[in-house]
Every structure is written in C-alpha cells, then in structure tokens.
C-alpha cells in the first residue's frame, strides 16, 4: 500500500530534504491508515526545515498556508504538502491557534496533535516515531487524546466531533478520560463553524458503524448542541458509500422541518436537490411507483428511497425488477426526446401562448412515458385533436 504514487512522491520529497541536511517524516492520517492497512490519499510531510528553507530546496513551491508553516512542494510525480514542525499558541476562539511557533523538535510537533493514533510519524526507512502510544492504541482500537484531553478539546472544539467521527469510521472505542473531557466540553461545539461540522458529518455517514458513532454522539452530550435529532436507534443497520445518502436519511428522520436543519449545515443547492428527490420518491412508495417515477428520478435517488423503506421496515410495494432495468424499458429517457414542442402546439391549435402550453406538454410527456401515446408527431397531433383542440 505504501508503494502507491502518493507515498512514493512523499518519499521523494523526504529524500531531497534529507540530502539538504534536514529531517523529514510522514505524519498524520496516512501513517494511521498504513497501520490499519487502509488506503491513504493525502500523504503529508513534516520537517524541521523552516518554510523558507523548504522553498530553497525545491524549484517549484506554492505558499498555501505559509503562516502556519505549510508549503506545497511540486515535484514531477505530483504535489506534496510539507509543514514545518511547530507548536501552537493559545486557542482563544476554540478553533485555531492565535499564533504558531516553528520548532526543530519532532516530539514537540507531535505533542500538539489531537489523538495518539494521529501523532505517529514514519521515517523514510519505514521506522516509526511514536512518543504517545499511538501504535498501541491502534492495536487496542481506541481513540485517545494526546496528553491532557480537556486541553486538546479546549484548543479546538471540533476535535470532539472528530473523535466521534473516527469511532464510527474505524469502529473504535473512545478512551474513558477522552470521553469524559468531551462530555465536559460539549457546549464548546457552538464555537465551530457549521461548514466544519458538516465536513465531519459527511465522513461520519460513511463510517463502518454509524449507529455506534451516533450512540457516542448522544453519550458525549454533543448531540444536544447540534441542530437536528440524531436518533441513534434508527441508524442500527445503516451503511452507505455516499455521504449524500447519509444526509437524505438524516433529513428523513427530521420530519417536516428538514430543510431548515440541512440549510443550517450549509448543504449546497445540489445536495439539497438530491435530498428532496429522495424524500419525494420515498413518500411516493406509499401509493406505488409508476413509469413517471422511474423517468423523473435518477437511479441513485430511487435506490436510496428503497433502502430507507427497508431500513424502516415499511409495508410498501417495492419494485420487482432492478431500477436500471425498469428505466431502460421506458419509451424515452429524457424530455428532449419528445418530438413536439410548444411552437407545434401553437401552430396546430391556433391559440395564443400561455400556461396551457406547459400543461399540455406535460400531459404529452406523461402519456408517452406510460405507453398511452407513441412518440410520433402525427400520432401526437391526432391525440391532441381528440383530447384538447376539439374543445376550442
């Protein structure tokens, strides 16, 4: 797994820094995921070289966060984030350090990190630097704050939600003292921007044990300070590989005011549209889907609605064939395939334009989709003469 492009690119950057006389290691989630035999896509490098020293070693760099010591190094194999070892100052806003101080000590740098499993460094030769017992905690499958848990969460309150998210994502427990600190600090989550909270919930929905994660969200007290009802017991068998499905299920459990709650989490218009489509399709299951539903909604939206019906054990009639098969059997796949338009209706009817044109086009579309009308211009004209224009 460490032979993939991202790892090899990071190793090449480390080699160049070492050749220039500096220390450099891989840090953070990539090391944790390597120990868990999970794929890591962001392989970041930390070094005792100051930002300007890093820039002097490489021909191409971009200052993406140089005030916090981060330089994007661009080598032929790709870009790598390189961050100078640092310690953090006070976190007066519970979100970010007021200032950082660059240091030459790897141990000092690792000490500022959130959890022991994320405070392990790996050298180019494959050896580990683990001052805080991170490897042992990974073996025990436990999430433990580095040092004083209360202090870690006072620094950045989002770390509390990250602990919950990691527990769902990795199916880990949370160390007792770490959970106690979260319970004590839970109100501080109010300091965190909704966009950052959403990013954590995005990942929580994808966890291997969402139910367990939401149980811990309730146990920790954090749920009381987050908008919406998380209802852990209703997530017992929930699994998805798509965060949007997670948000749709969360919305379903909120009832009528789901829009207000999801907007508070800053979902995009596209995400909101997906949620609305899934919930509308889900409601339509009560009366049974027809061709118009298979035409109107995307396969993913319908599959999500079926999944929710099964999770909640609804007594509804589910499709007897795969969604894709039913959609492929439709007479047309999109509105643009209809062979008549508004101009045709005006020409044939002799009427002035108005809302009726859109209504009649909708009726034509539905008749075609339900195999009541062939998508042929002459047949559609005759159908209109019979059903509409003769009334003029």
Binding positions for Mg(2+): 42, 44
CA distances from 144 to 18, 110, 232 (A): 32, 14, 23
Geometric angle at alpha carbon 60, from 56 and 63, rounded to 5°: 80
Binding positions for CTP: 29, 32, 113, 156, 159, 162, 165
Binding positions for ATP: 29, 32, 113, 156, 159, 162, 165
Strand 173-174 to 142-143 pairing: parallel
CB 145 within 8 A of CB 153: yes
CB 176 within 8 A of CB 144: no
Rounded to whole angstroms, the Cα distance separating 66 from 51 reads 7
Helix (H), strand (E) at residue 120: none
Q: Is 115 helix (H, G, I), strand (E, B) or coil?
A: strand
On the 0-12 / 13-18 / 19+ scale of CB atoms within 10 A, 352 is exposed
User: Long-range CB contacts (< 8 A, 24+ apart) of 116-119?
Assistant: 116/144, 116/145, 116/146, 117/32, 117/143, 117/144, 117/166, 118/28, 118/29, 118/32, 119/146
Binding positions: 29, 32, 42, 44, 113, 156, 159, 162, 165
Rounded to whole angstroms, the Cα distance separating 157 from 192 reads 7
């Amino acid at each position: 797994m460490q032979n993939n492009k991202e790892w090899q690119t990071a190793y090449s950057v480390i080699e160049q820094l070492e050749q220039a006389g500096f220390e450099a290691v891989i840090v953070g989630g990539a090391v944790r995921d390597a120990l868990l035999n999970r794929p890591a896509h962001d392989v970041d490098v930390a070094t005792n070289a100051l930002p300007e020293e890093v820039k002097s070693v490489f021909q191409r760099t971009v200052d993406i966060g140089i005030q916090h010591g981060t330089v994007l190094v661009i080598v032929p194999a790709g870009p790598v984030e390189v961050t100078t070892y640092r310690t953090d100052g006070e976190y007066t806003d519970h979100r970010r350090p007021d200032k950082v101080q660059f240091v030459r000590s790897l141990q000092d740098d690792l000490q500022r990190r959130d959890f022991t499993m994320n405070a392990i460094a790996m050298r180019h030769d494959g050896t580990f630097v683990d001052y805080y017992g991170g490897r042992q905690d990974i073996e025990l499958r436990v999430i433990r704050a580095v040092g004083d848990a209360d202090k870690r969460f006072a620094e950045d309150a989002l770390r509390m939600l990250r602990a919950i998210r990691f527990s769902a994502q990795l199916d880990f427990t949370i160390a007792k003292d770490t959970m106690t600190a979260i319970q004590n600090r839970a109100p501080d989550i109010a300091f965190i921007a909704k966009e950052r909270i959403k990013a954590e919930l995005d990942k929580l929905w994808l966890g291997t044990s969402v139910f367990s994660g939401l149980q811990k969200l309730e146990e920790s007290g954090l749920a009381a300070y987050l908008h919406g009802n998380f209802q852990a017991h209703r997530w017992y068998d929930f699994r998805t590989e798509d965060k949007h499905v997670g948000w749709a299920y969360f919305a379903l459990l909120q009832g009528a005011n789901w829009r207000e709650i999801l907007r508070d989490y800053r979902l995009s218009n596209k995400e909101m549209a997906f949620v609305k489509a899934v919930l509308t399709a889900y409601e339509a299951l009560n009366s049974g889907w027809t061709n118009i539903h298979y035409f109107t909604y995307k396969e993913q939206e319908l599959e999500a609605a079926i999944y929710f019906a099964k999770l909640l054990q609804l007594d509804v009639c589910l499709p007897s064939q795969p969604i894709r098969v039913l959609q492929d059997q439709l007479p047309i796949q999109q509105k643009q395939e209809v062979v008549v338009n508004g101009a045709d209706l005006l020409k044939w009817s002799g009427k002035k334009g108005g809302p009726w044109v859109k209504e009649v086009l909708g009726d034509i579309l539905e008749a075609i989709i339900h195999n009541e009308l062939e998508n042929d211009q002459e047949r559609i004209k005759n159908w209109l003469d019979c059903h509409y224009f003769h009334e003029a």
